[in-house]
Amino acid sequence: MAYELSTLNERKQKRREGIIRGAIVVIGQKGYNRTKIIDIAREANVADGTIYLYFDNKDDLLIKVFDETLEKRLNQLKEQIEPIEDKLERLDKFLLLHTDIYKEHPEELRFFALEARQSPEFYNRYPDFSPFSEYKKYVLELCKDAINSQKVRKLAPEVLANILLGTLEYNLVSWATGNLKLSIKNVIKQSIDIVHNGIVLDK
Amino acid sequence: MAYELSTLNERKQKRREGIIRGAIVVIGQKGYNRTKIIDIAREANVADGTIYLYFDNKDDLLIKVFDETLEKRLNQLKEQIEPIEDKLERLDKFLLLHTDIYKEHPEELRFFALEARQSPEFYNRYPDFSPFSEYKKYVLELCKDAINSQKVRKLAPEVLANILLGTLEYNLVSWATGNLKLSIKNVIKQSIDIVHNGIVLDK
Amino acid sequence: MAYELSTLNERKQKRREGIIRGAIVVIGQKGYNRTKIIDIAREANVADGTIYLYFDNKDDLLIKVFDETLEKRLNQLKEQIEPIEDKLERLDKFLLLHTDIYKEHPEELRFFALEARQSPEFYNRYPDFSPFSEYKKYVLELCKDAINSQKVRKLAPEVLANILLGTLEYNLVSWATGNLKLSIKNVIKQSIDIVHNGIVLDK
Amino acid sequence: MAYELSTLNERKQKRREGIIRGAIVVIGQKGYNRTKIIDIAREANVADGTIYLYFDNKDDLLIKVFDETLEKRLNQLKEQIEPIEDKLERLDKFLLLHTDIYKEHPEELRFFALEARQSPEFYNRYPDFSPFSEYKKYVLELCKDAINSQKVRKLAPEVLANILLGTLEYNLVSWATGNLKLSIKNVIKQSIDIVHNGIVLDK
DNA sequence: AATGAATGAGATTTCATTCAT
DNA sequence: GATGAATGAAATCTCATTCAT
Nearest to B168 by CA among C186, A73, A166: A166
D184 and chain C: CB distance < 8 Å anywhere? Answer: no
Residue C202 lies in a domain: no
D138 pLDDT more than 90: yes
DSSP A56: S
Q: What is the dihedral of CA C163, C169, C170, C176, to 10 degrees?
A: 160
pLDDT of residue D130: 65
**Is residue C66 located within the same domain as residue C48?**
no
List, for residues B116-151, the tens digit of each pLDDT value.
777 767 766 776 666 788 889 999 999 999 999 988
Question: What pLDDT is recorded for position C58?
Answer: 93
How big is chain A, counted in residues?
203
Q: Among all strands, which nt has the closest C1' to C50 (CA)?
A: E2
| Res. A202 pLDDT band, cuts 50 70 90 | low
Q: What is the mean pLDDT of residues A141-170?
A: 94
**Interface residue of B112, B160, B174, B183 to substitute, partner A, most A CBs within 10 Å:** B174
A170 band by pLDDT with thresholds 50, 70 and 90:
very high
Q: How far is A3 from chain B (nearest CA, A)?
A: 47
Question: Do residues D131 and D181 share a domain?
Answer: yes
Domain boundary among the residues A40, A55, A70 is at A55
**B185 — pLDDT class (breaks 50, 70, 90):** very high
Task: Identify the CATH number of the domain in which residue D12 sits.
Answer: 1.10.10.60
Q: Provide DSSP, chain B.
A: -HHHHHHHHHHHHHHHHHHHHHHHHHHHHH-TTT--HHHHHHHTTS-HHHHHHH-SSHHHHHHHHHHHHHHHHHHHHHHHHTT---HHHHHHHHHHHHHHHHHH-HHHHHIIIIIGGGSHHHHHHSTTS-TTHHHHHHHHHHHHHHHHSTTB----HHHHHHHHHHHHHHHHHHHHTT--SS-HHHHHHHHHHHHHHHHBPP-
Residue in chain B lying closest to A189 (CA): B159
pLDDT of residue A186: 97
Kindly report, residue by residue over C66-86, the tens digit of the pLDDT: 999 999 999 999 999 999 999
Q: Give the chain B residue nearest A173 (alpha carbons).
A: B129
Look at residues A33, A55, A77 and tell me which one is the last residue of a structural domain. A55
Average pLDDT over residues A43-57: 96
Q: Is A203 contained in some domain?
A: no
Is B169 close to A167, i.e. CB distance below 8 A?
no
Give pLDDT tens digits for D59-81: 899 999 999 999 999 999 999 99
Q: Look at residue C43 and tell me whether its pLDDT is greater than 80.
A: yes
Please check whether residues B50 and B93 belong to one and the same domain.
no
Above 50 in pLDDT, residue A113?
yes
B45 & B62 share domain: no
Distance D4 CA to F3 C1' (A): 13
pLDDT computed for residue A150 by the predictor: 84
Pairwise pLDDT comparison (A28 vs B185), residue with the higher score: B185
Question: Which has the closest alpha carbon to C177: B176, D108, B41, D126?
Answer: D126
Q: Which residue has the higher pLDDT, C8 or A160?
A: A160
Instruction: Give the other-Cβ count within 10 Å of B197's Cβ.
Output: 16
Rounded to whole angstroms, the Cα distance separating C149 from B142 reads: 102
Contact of D115 with D32, CB cutoff 8 Å: yes
Dist CA A108 CA A87 (whole Å): 28
DSSP 3-state of C152: strand
Q: Could you say which of B117, B165, B171 has the minimum Cβ distance to residue A114?
A: B117
Maximum distance among all alpha carbons in chain B?
69
Domain limits at B13?
1-55
Are D98 and D49 part of one and the same domain?
Answer: no
Q: What is the pLDDT of residue B31?
A: 84
Across the range C15-41, mean pLDDT stands at 93
Interface test with D, best of C59, C162, C165 (most D CBs within 10 A): C162
- With respect to residue B170, please indicate whether it lies within any of the assigned structural domains: yes
Is residue A191 less than 8 Å (CB to CB) from chain B? yes
Residue ranges near strand E (C-beta within 7 Å) = A 35-38, 48-49, 52, 57-59; B 8, 11-12, 15, 45-50, 52-54; C 8, 11-12, 15, 46-50, 52-53; D 4, 35-38, 48-49, 52, 57-59
Q: Is residue C2's pLDDT more than 60?
A: no
Residue D84 has pLDDT above 90, yes or no: yes
Interval D138-162 mean pLDDT: 94
Q: Quick one: pLDDT band at residue C129, thresholds 50, 70, 90?
A: low
Angstrom distance (rounded) from CA A169 to CA A165: 6
Residue D30 and residue D78 in one domain: no
Residues D177, D92: one domain?
Answer: yes
Residue C11 has pLDDT above 50, yes or no: yes
Confidence of residue B1 (pLDDT cuts 50, 70, 90): very low
Query: What's the mean pLDDT when you consider all of chain A?
Result: 90
- Is A75 inside any structural domain? yes
CA distance C121 to chain D (A): 10
pLDDT in tens, A115-148: 777 776 776 677 666 678 888 999 999 999 999 9
Distances (CA, A) of B63 to A85, B68, B127: 50, 8, 13
Flag whether pLDDT at D129 surpasses 70. Answer: no
Instruction: Output the pLDDT for position B2.
Output: 40
Estimate to the nearest angstrom the gap between the alpha carbon of D61 and the chain centroid. Answer: 17
Of D55, D80, D100, which marks where a domain is finished?
D55
User: Does position A16 have pLDDT exceeding 90, yes or no?
Assistant: yes
Same domain, B44 and B69: no
pLDDT at C120: 65
What chains are in contact with C, requiring at least 3 Cβ pairs below 8 Å? D
Among the partner residues D160, D165, D190, nearest to C170 by beta-carbon distance? D165
Does residue D203 sit within a domain?
A: no
**Average pLDDT of the residues in A40-64:** 95
* D66 located within any domain: yes
Q: Between these two residues, D129 and C46, which has the higher pLDDT value?
A: C46
Report the gap between the CA of A7 and the closest CA in chain B (Å). 41
Lowest-confidence pick of C186-190, C194-198, D2-6, D76-80: D2-6
CA of C52: nucleotide with nearest C1':
F17
Mean pLDDT, all residues of chain C: 89
CA of C202 to C1' of E17 (A): 77
Q: What is the pLDDT of residue B89?
A: 94
Same domain, D107 and D93: yes
The predicted structure's pLDDT at residue C1: 46
Task: Find the helix or strand (DSSP H, E) in which C1 lies.
Answer: none
Residue D178 CB neighbour total at 10 angstroms? 11
| pLDDT tier for residue D116 given thresholds of 50, 70 and 90 | confident
CA nearest B117 in A: which residue? Answer: A114
Which of B41-55, B74-88, C20-34 is the least confident region?
C20-34
Collapsing DSSP to helix, strand or coil, A133 comes out as helix
pLDDT in the model for residue D94: 96
The predicted pLDDT at position C110 comes to 86
* pLDDT, greater one: A119 or B63: B63
Asked whether residue C134 carries a pLDDT value surpassing 90, the answer given is no
Does residue B29 sit in the same domain as residue B112? no
Q: What total number of domains does chain B contain?
A: 2
Which residues 19-38 of B interface with strand F at a CB distance below 7 A?
A: 35-38
Residue A13 lies in a domain: yes
What CATH number should be reported for the domain holding residue D188? Answer: 1.10.357.10
| For residue A1, pLDDT beyond 50 | no
Nucleotides of F under 7 A from a protein CB: 1-21
Q: Which of B164, B166, B201 is nearest to B90 (CA)?
A: B164
Q: Which residue, D42, A198, D168, C181, is CA-closest to B167? A: A198
- D105 within domain boundaries: yes
In the structure, how far is the CA atom of residue C42 from the C1' atom of nucleotide E4, in angstroms?
12
What is the pLDDT, as a whole number, of residue B3?
45
Residue B122 C-beta-side C-alpha neighbours within 13 Å = 24
Looking at CA atoms only, how far is residue D194 from chain C in angstroms? 5
Statement: residue D117 has pLDDT above 80: no
Asked if C179 and C96 sit in the same domain, the reply is yes
Q: Which of D33, D114, D178 sits opposite C120 (nearest CB)?
A: D33
- How distant is C1' of E13 from CA of D56, in Å? 10
Average per-residue pLDDT for chain B: 89
Given a cut of 80, is residue B8 above it in pLDDT?
A: no
pTM (predicted TM-score): 0.87
Q: Which chains lie within 8 Å of chain D at 3 or more CB pairs, if any?
A: C
- State pLDDT tens for residues B13-42: 999 999 999 999 999 888 888 899 999 999
A13–chain B nearest CA distance, Å: 32
Assess whether B17 and B4 both reside in one domain.
yes
The residue count of chain B comes to 203
